[in-house]
């Protein structure tokens, strides 16, 4: 399920700048801290730096121990599953990837993509999806998702 989308952002922006513009860290601070002071962490690609709520893999391949190498392998394979959600949006709603129709200020690019993501989530509720199968979990029923 696609839980959060931001953008669009003009031009090629570095992941760290988009993270700052999105204000995701503030949201994580409010949402992902437990009563005992512990917190949940998201895994980010190497474009991010290690910080309280976002962790990346170990960088120095030559000096990593076996546990660090295993962590990098495991997390890298799981990170690919995030891309499946974007792929499903394009599979179901190919027009959002057709650059000739997506002209900033001439068409509501952001609205098109958000509606496509919403309908992709609805499709997942009704038909399941590749990520839910991969992680052996169920997608919510449609009524629960729409609440």
- For residue range 32-90, what is the model confidence (pLDDT) as tens digits? 888 898 998 888 877 788 888 888 888 877 888 999 999 888 888 777 777 888 899 99
Nearest CA-CA partner of 112 in 128, 125, 101: 101
Domain, as residue range, for 130: 15-146
- Our count of domains for the chain comes to 1
The neighbouring-strand residues paired with 33 are 39
Q: Is residue 91 part of a domain?
A: yes
Percent of the chain with pLDDT over 70: 98
| Interatomic CA distance for residues 102 and 99, integer angstroms | 5
Q: How many CB atoms lie within 10 A of CB 33?
A: 14
Per residue in 24-47, pLDDT (tens digit) is 888 888 888 888 989 988 888 777
Q: How far apart are CA 53 and CA 36, in angstroms?
A: 16
User: Is 40 among the domain residues?
Assistant: yes
* Of residues 72 and 126, more confidently modeled: 126
């Amino acid at each position: 399920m696609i839980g959060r989308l931001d953008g669009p952002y003009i031009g090629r922006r570095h992941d760290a700048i988009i993270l700052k513009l999105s204000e995701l860290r503030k949201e994580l601070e409010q949402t992902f801290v437990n009563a005992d002071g512990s917190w949940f962490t998201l895994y980010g690609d190497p474009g991010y730096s290690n910080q309280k709520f976002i962790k990346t893999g170990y960088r120095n391949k030559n000096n990593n121990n076996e546990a660090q190498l295993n962590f990098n392998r495991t997390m890298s394979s799981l990170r690919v599953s995030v891309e499946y959600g974007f792929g499903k949006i394009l599979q179901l709603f190919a027009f959002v990837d057709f650059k000739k129709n997506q002209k900033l200020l001439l068409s509501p690019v952001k609205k098109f993509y958000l509606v496509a993501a919403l309908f992709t989530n609805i499709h997942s509720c009704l038909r399941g999806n590749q990520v839910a199968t991969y992680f052996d979990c169920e997608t919510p029923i449609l009524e629960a998702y729409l609440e």
